[in-house]
Every structure is written in C-alpha cells, then in structure tokens.
Amino acid sequence: MNKNKMWGGRFGASPSEIMQEINASIETDRRFAAQDLEGSRAHADMLGATGIISREDADQILSGLNTIASEFADGSFPFRVEFEDIHLNVEARLRELIGPVAGRLHTGRSRNDQVATDFRLWVRDAIDRLDQGLRALQSALVGQADQNADTIMPGFTHLQSAQPVTFGHHCLAYVEMFARDRGRLADARKRLNESPLGAAALAGTSFPVDRTQTAKTLGFDRPMANSLDAVSDRDFAIETVTAAALCAMHLSRLAEEIVVWCSAQFDFVSLPDDLTTGSSIMPQKRNPDAAELVRAKTGRINGAAIALLTMMKGLPLAYSKDMQEDKQPVFDAVDSLELSLTAMTAMISSLQVRKDTMQQAAAQGFSTATDLADWLVRVLKLPFRDAHHTTGALVAMAEKQGVQLDELTLEQLQSVESRITKDIYSVLSVENSVKSRVSAGGTAPERVREQVAFWQNALK
C-alpha cells in the first residue's frame, strides 16, 4: 500500500488509477514551473525574514530551489504524475535534494493560494507578450498606411461599393481596434496585479506572514484584501481570455479581408510566396492559408472564454477542484492569439498592394454618387433629400447606358436637372472624392498622413 506521500497521512489506501488520471494536472501546469519556483522563493525568503522558520532553513530551501531552477533549465527535472501537480512535484523534488527541511516550505501556505499566484504570474507575462505582439502589428499597419495614404480603394458597406476611401485609412481603422485591445489587456493587467499569496487554503493563516513583502518580491502592487476571494477568483483569466476573444475577432475581420482581397476577382493585394500555399491538384492556386487559419483560430479563443465562464459559474466559495480546469483554455487561447498576431504581422508587412486595380475598382459601382448629391446641395442649394433623389435618377440612367457617372454627357445630366453645369465633373473623380473627405477622422490623404504621424510617434 503506497499512500500519497504529500497528503496521504489520514488515508488507508492510495488513489486508484482512474483517480490519479483525473486528478493529475502536471502535464498542463508544468508550463508554469518557473512561476511556481518564483512564488516559492518569495515565500521561503519571507518565512526566513519574519522568523517563521529559521534563516538557515530558509537558506537551505532557497539553495534547493536554485538546484531545481537549474534542473528546469537543463531539462533534467523529473516531472512525475504520481505527484499530481507542479506544486507537489517541486516540493517532492526539494525533499529529495535537501531532506526533511523541505517540509517547512509549505508553512503558512496552501496549494490554493500557490496556484492562484502562479497562474496570475503566468497570465501577467502572457499579457505583456500579447501587448508586444499587438504593438508590432500596429507598427506594420501604420507602415502600410504611410505607404498608402493616397492609394484609392473602394470603401464598402454591405460589401457593396459605397464611397472611395484610401487604403491607408482602411489600415488605420485596424490600428484603432488593436489599440482598444491593448487597452483592455492593460486594464486586465492592472486588476490582476494583486497577490493571493498568504491567503493560504481560504481563511488566511495563523503564522505572521508578511504578505506585503511577498507581493512586492513578485512584482504585485499589493496583497489581495480578502483571502476567500484570493483563492477563488479567476476573473483575471476570464478578463484576459475575453479580451483575447475580442482581439481575435478583429484579427478575423482583417484575415477575411485579406482572403477576399487576394482572390482573382478582387486582386487588390498579393501575399508573397512564403506566406501562401499551393494546391496538390490545381497548379494555378496560391492560397492564403495563413489568413484563413487566423480567421479560424477565433473559434478556439471564443471557446476558451466560454469554457472558463461555464467552469466558474455556480462554484461556491472558495476553492473547488473544478478550477484546475482553468489552465488549458487559457494556455490555448494565449498560444493561438500570439501565433495569430505574429502571422498577421508577417502578412501585413509583406502585403503587395495593387494600386491600379484598387483605384479602378473604386471608380466602379457609382461610388461618387454621394459626391454628386453633395454638389447639388452645395452649388444648386437643393435640400439633401431632393439631391439624393435626383442623383438616384442619374445613377439609374448611367446603369441603363452601361457607363459610370462621369461618362454621362452634360446633356444627359441636364435632362434630369437642368441647372447642372460642367463643374460637376470635378467631383465625380475618385481622387477628388477622397480629397474632399477632410472632416476629422475622414479618409482624405491629408487626414491619413496626420494619423500616420500620430501613430508613428505613439508607437515609438
């Protein structure tokens, strides 16, 4: 009979195979081995400093933890499933290295505050990496905006040609979205950055632990105020993953646009060979798989958010083992988003923009009809509704003749509204259309250049 060495004191039998299988989390939580070690070092140091254990014992523990750190580094640390999780694996190894004094490390601590601490540290690092990834993507988009401040493309609503816009303006729309994503992650990080350590199992501890010291050592702003909340809160994981889901949604919109733009029917952009794939049967194909996969990964990230929300729903205070299921979705969501950001940055940086095709497409579909209506309002002083109606009649005429608005003759234009003069042609070109959209936040090249300068400075 081989009782669990870490918690088996009151047990008559060891866990069954199935118990061990469902209970063990080491294959997942070994991923935050480094954070677990960091937390243990801070705790051991504090135990020594407060005299809860002797300085000699603390130093022995710390030197054992150093050995474990080097075992992590050179890959020799034995991760063993019989020790369930990362916390017990580290403690068991520590005992092998330094003997029974290892047992003093867990004074005034529980795996409940330990895992909450480790996970917060891991998620905090993840947020910092995601922020870097988002920043790099923003820089790539600003680079394209800079190159394409006056590249004209069709602007769409309902995916119908609406009004001409500039490609730079289009890129900068995504820069704004990713700025909000960074804001949400930064906001989550602020709330995350409090230390659960010292909450122990749920009620706090009778030992005079210095929670402010451990919080400070671990880079937290302060200890969490309520021990029950400290061990049972997973808001930080949910906030991060839902922010990731929102970001993934933005990425999937951009990915979708790249897929559409790359098609022969649009042909607005092309991706370099090294970011596309071929077909095993159709030799002509060059598929935007990377964009499609970015679009698809949104599903797993949304799934992670739903998994966490569902897992936490209805859990009574404080810790329940349900919460051990929180790591996989977070790891998967973060991995998926990091990879998506990297792939998207590569695609945006290397996108070849077909300016001519874009400009030609912008002139199709009567995209300057609003400019025509605005001219009627400005010059002939028509109420906008009447101008809209008159323009509609002209569009119908052009459509019937199979020509664009600027290909209608003056006589044809005057047959609908006799006061139209040839000056109207000046607003029917796509160049003049975008140039005229100078309102704040508008698509005019001069507004785009201002925003490019703003972002170049902000991303420095």
By beta-carbon proximity to ligand ARG, the closer residue of 115 and 127 is: 115
Which lies closer to ligand ARG via its Cβ, residue 321 or residue 400? 321
Complex with ligand ARG: residue 71 or 325, whichever CB lies closer: 325
Q: Which is nearer to ligand ARG, 10 or 321 (CB)?
A: 321
The nearest distance, CB 336 to ligand ARG, in angstroms, is 21
Residue count at the site for ligand ARG (CB under 6 A)? 10
For ligand ARG, which is the closer residue by CB, 308 or 323?
323
CB of 350 to ligand ARG, least distance (A): 41
Taking the complex as a whole, the smallest distance from the CB of residue 326 to ligand ARG amounts, in Å, to: 7
Distances (CA, A) of 244 to 96, 135, 345: 41, 14, 16
We find the least distance from the C-beta atom of residue 85 to ligand ARG, in angstroms, to be 4
Interacting span for ligand ARG (CB under 6 A) from 35-43, 291-299, 318-326, 406-414: 318-326
Task: Give whichever of 115 and 134 is closer to ligand ARG, judged by the CB atom.
Answer: 115
Stretch in the footprint of ligand ARG (CB under 6 A) among 71-79, 109-117, 213-221, 347-355? 109-117
> With binding defined as CB under 6 A, does residue 331 bind ligand ARG?
no
Q: Which residue in the set 167, 178, 319, 455 belongs to the binding site for ligand ARG (CB under 6 A)?
A: 319
The interface region with ligand ARG, picked from 120-128, 316-324, 344-352, 433-441 by CB under 6 A, is 316-324
- The residue range among 158-166, 245-253, 317-325, 404-412 that interacts with ligand ARG, by the rule CB under 6 A, is 317-325
Query: Smallest gap, in angstroms, from Cβ of residue 80 to ligand ARG?
Result: 14
CB closer to ligand ARG out of 57 and 113: 113
SS3 letters across the chain: CCCCCCCCCCCCCCCCHHHHHHHCCHHHHHHHHHHHHHHHHHHHHHHHHCCCCCHHHHHHHHHHHHHHHHHHHHCCCCCCHHHCCHHHHHHHHHHHHHHHHHHHCCCCCCHHHHHHHHHHHHHHHHHHHHHHHHHHHHHHHHHHHHHCCCCEEEEEECCEEEEEEEHHHHHHHHHHHHHHHHHHHHHHHHHHCEECCCCCCCCCCCCCCCHHHHHHHCCCCEECCCHHHHHHCCHHHHHHHHHHHHHHHHHHHHHHHHHHHHCCCCCCEECCHHHCECCCCCCCCCECHHHHHHHHHHHHHHHHHHHHHHHHCCCCCCCCHHHHHHHHHHHHHHHHHHHHHHHHHHHHHHCEECHHHHHHHHHCCCCCHHHHHHHHHHHHCCCHHHHHHHHHHHHHHHHHHCCCHHHCCHHHHHHHCCCCCHHHHHHCCHHHHHHHCCCCCCCCHHHHHHHHHHHHHHCC
- Least distance (Å) between residue 95 CB and ligand ARG: 18
The residue from 16, 76, 158, 206 that is catalytic is: 158
**Location of structure tokens 């095709």:** 357
Per the DSSP assignment, residues forming a β-bridge with 303 are none
* Cα gap 421→380, rounded to integer Å: 10
Among 35, 60, 89, 112, binds ligand ARG (CB under 6 A): 112
Phi, psi of 278, rounded to the nearest 5 degrees? -100, 175
Among positions 41, 93, 111, 295, the unique one binding ligand ARG when judged by CB under 6 A: 111
Q: Is 233 in the site for ligand ARG (CB under 6 A)?
A: no
Q: Is 158 a catalytic residue?
A: yes
Q: What residues from 49 to 88 belong to the interface with ligand ARG (CB under 6 A)?
A: 85
Binding residue for ligand ARG, selected from 98, 323, 346, 452, defined by CB under 6 A: 323
Binding flag, residue 25, ligand ARG (CB under 6 A):
yes
Q: Which among 54, 63, 70, 279 is annotated as catalytic? A: 279
Q: Give the footprint of ligand ARG on this chain (CB under 6 A).
A: 25, 29, 85, 111-112, 115, 319, 321, 323-324
The catalytic residue positions are: 158, 279
